[in-house]
Structure 1
């Protein structure tokens, strides 16, 4: 019965009076679904918020509760949610800054536009995790001040803050101009030197695997460097030295930065780690000459990343198409191809290249039609979902290539009801085609009934509004709970049955 009620809670056709009845009996699962209803009224939202703290938080984030609806003492997490959405009261922030629950103060520290006195209180909080959370989201001025904090965890959070001034980020990397770090989360808890066992048996231990401190707080400093490398505000000159760092993770993060000088790119192109070379290959900052060098790299990860580079030359991409495992993906360079380049790609003698072009959904009609008649099934599979193809073209594709393309044809937005019925009866049956038909807005009752024979498609078909109402009712007794829930959420379910099902 619970799956039926969960489905009903999501049913867009559920009458308001039945929503009220569900609110009165809602558990956490049911309340979460009801809170997401687009038609939930304000009175209903207030009643639903009283069912549980998690639901109140969800409703606050979705803008369905106001300041007048929440008591910050009784519902502190909902109050925090409104503060996070910039819809709470400044007095709430002052109240919650003194909350004895550390998690509440930590949540508060991530909220935007906090009053200055609240920021000062949080910056002096005795719990490091609260100060670190503030450092992660605070203003440039406060971030610069917290960069001098004695705890490495706070400085690491400052390094991740996108508003931290560039000169401060540079100092965090080098340590120049800052007092020495005194503590980290590791030496707060363990006698040093200490390396945390990745398979630590202690159930109450929350140190990350491999966390280590020998007095230099090395694992936290490593995380600080990683965060600074990810931060686009970190100056280029402060990060180039990581090209020779022994940490592969730091070199990988360096390789994706858009501000790399050419000499650093060349050095990283010869890195012993395929992951570093792959990250560099996808970076638009590298020049054409280096792309051609990386195209000869035998690492499949490198080849695929280079193919995804939006600036890769088309002739290089054509070479990669036959060897890199790209799959059915619209590559950025293909998406940006000019009309002349599109014509060139369409005339390529290599099916793998034509397949890449066929992933576009804005092709001129002539090129689209030529690709639809392509002799290679891979090309046809890629073009099959292109809008504008006629029913005759789609049928011809399915008849010519059979099971290899049927599912893609069924996913075409212009597939007619008659074509969908034809594809659902295809011999041999194609399971993926059933799933595409089951979710297609033009699916007919006849085609949906055929889809019920497939286990996965049955779950989707059960929720399709074109399914006959009596069939929907019958599916409420299905052995598969997902089918039951989908049927209960089907707007075609008769209202009288809905009313009988709601206690």
Structure 2
């Protein structure tokens, strides 16, 4: 019964009085669904938060609870949610800065616009994790101060803060002008030298896997440098020299930076780690020569990522479309094509080029219609979801290419009900068609009844409003709890049944 009530709580057709009833008996799961309701009134939101305090956080983030509704001593986490949203309540911040629960002070440290006295209190917090959270999110002046903090964990956090001044970030990378850190999380709790076992069996241990310290806080310093190298505010002059660093993670951190000189990019293009080359391949900083070199990379992920580069030449992109698993996606370079380039790709003798342009959903009608008649099934499959295609065109696709295009035809937003009915009865059947039709807004009752025979599609079809109400009621008793929950959330469920379900407990 519990899963039925969860579904009912999400039902958009549920009457307000029944929402009140569910609030009165809600547990955490039911409250989660109720809190997401678009029609929840302010009074209902307050009642729900009173019933299940954890829901107050979601309600606050969604704007259902305002500062006038919240007492921070009763709902401190909801108060934190509003502070995180930028609500100006300095008295709340001062109260929460002294909260005995460390996680709340840590959450507070990430909130914007904190009063200066609260910032000072958090910067002096006895738990270094709170100070580190402040360092990660605070403003430039405070971040500069915390970048020189004696604890390495705080410095690591400051290294990831884009508000940290460039000079401070450079010092964190090079160590120049900074006194050595005195502590880290490892030597705070272990006698050094110490290397944390990645398979550590201790339930009370929260050190990162592989964390180590021999007195130099090496794992934290490494993480600090990695954060600084990823930080776009760190001066490129301070980071470019890391392209040949022995640490693959530090080289990897550089690969996505858009301010690298071409010489550094060239070094990374020959990096032995495929992940480094893959991040570089998508980096807008690389020039055409490097793009063409990476197009021959032996790693398929590098070539796939290169296809997403915003300036990849069309001839290179067509080559990549033949050799890399790009997937059914509109690539940035294709989205930016000029009308002349669109025409060129659509007329290309290479099906891979036509597939690329067929992913656009704003094609001129003449080009769209030409591609709809394409002899290559992959091209037609890419085009099939394009809005505006007629029923005749969609049926012609199915007639010519059969099971290869069926599922994509079913995703077309304009596919008429009669066509959807024919797709679910196609022989041989295509399993994905049932799922696509089950979620199609134009699906008819007869098509949905066929979809119910498929195990995966059944869970989707059970929530479709076109399903006949008697069938929806039957599905409430389905052996699959997900099917029953979807049926309970179906707006076609008769109101009398909703009332009976809500009042049964």
- Give the shorter-chain TM-score range: over 0.9
1-side partners of 2:439 and 2:174: how far apart? 56
Range 144-153 or range 262-271, more displaced: 262-271
SS at match of 2:114: coil
Aligned to 1:255: 255
Q: Aligned to 2:180, what secondary structure does the other structure show?
A: coil
Task: Tell me if the contact between 1:345 and 1:357 (Cα under 8 Å) persists in the aligned partners.
Answer: yes
Query: In structure 2, what is the equivalent of residue 105 of structure 1?
Result: 105
Secondary structure (helix, strand or coil) at the match of 1:50 reads helix
* Aligned-pair CA distance for 1:88: 5.4
By how many angstroms is 1:241 displaced?
Answer: 1.0
Counterparts in 2 of 1:53-92, with a 5 A limit? 53-87=53-87, 89-92=89-92
Instruction: Write the distance in 1 (CA, Å) between the matches of 2:302 and 2:121.
Output: 49
Counterpart of 1:350? 350
CA–CA separation in structure 2 for the residues paired with 1:101 and 1:431: 51
* CA RMSD, Structure 1 to Structure 2 (Å): 1.1
The residue aligned with 2:219 is 219
**Equivalent residue, structure 1, for 2:420:** 420
C-alpha contact (below 8 Å) 2:469/2:494 kept by paired residues: yes
Measured in 2, the distance between the counterparts of 1:50 and 1:139 equals 36
SS across alignment from 1:322: helix
Q: 1:225 aligns to what SS in structure 2?
A: helix
Give the match for residue 305 of structure 1: 305
Give distance in 1, aligned partners of 2:229 and 2:353: 36
Post-superposition CA distance 1:155-194 (Å, at most 9, x none): 1111111211111111111121222111110111111111
Could you tell me whether the CA contact under 8 Å between 1:438 and 1:448 is conserved in 2? yes
Partners of 1:365 and 1:168 lie apart in 2 by: 56
Contact kept in structure 1, 2:26 and 2:52, CA below 8 Å: no
Question: 8 Å contact 2:256–2:279 — kept in the other structure?
Answer: yes
Question: Which portions of structure 1, spanning 4 or more consecutive aligned residues, are displaced by more than 3 angstroms?
Answer: none
Aligned residue number for residue 31 of structure 2: 31
Q: Distance in 2 between matches of 1:335 and 1:484?
A: 42
Deviation at 1:265, TM superposition (A): 1.0
**Mapped contact 2:476–2:484 kept (Cα < 8 A):** yes
Aligned ranges 1:34-433 → 2 under 5 Å: 34-87=34-87, 89-433=89-433
Determine helix, strand or coil for the equivalent of 1:72: coil
1:458 maps to 2:458: yes
**Size of the alignment, in residue pairs?**
503
**Match of 1:16?**
16
Query: Which structure 1 segments of 5+ residues have no match?
Result: none
Q: Residues 24-63 of structure 1, C-alpha deviation per residue, up to 9 Å, x if partnerless?
A: 0000000111011110001111110012231111111111
Asked whether the 8 Å contact 1:255–1:268 carries over to 2, the reply is yes
Q: Distance in 1 between matches of 2:387 and 2:78?
A: 45
- Does residue 434 of structure 2 align to residue 434 of structure 1? yes
Matched-pair contact (CA < 8 Å) for 1:79–1:88: no
Q: Which moved more, 1:38-47 or 1:98-107?
A: 98-107
Residue 81 of structure 1 and its aligned partner are, at CA, apart by 1.3
With structure 2 as the length reference, what TM-score do the two structures score?
A: 0.98
Cα distance in 2 for residues equivalent to 1:315 and 1:416: 38
Query: What is the rounded CA distance, in whole Å, between the counterparts of 1:85 and 1:414 in structure 2?
Result: 40
The runs of 5 or more residues in structure 2 that have no matched partner are: none
- Deviation of 1:86 after TM superposition, in Å, equals 2.0
- Tell me how far apart the structure 1 counterparts of residues 17 and 325 of structure 2 sit (CA, whole Å): 54
Q: Distance in 1 between matches of 2:53 and 2:195?
A: 39
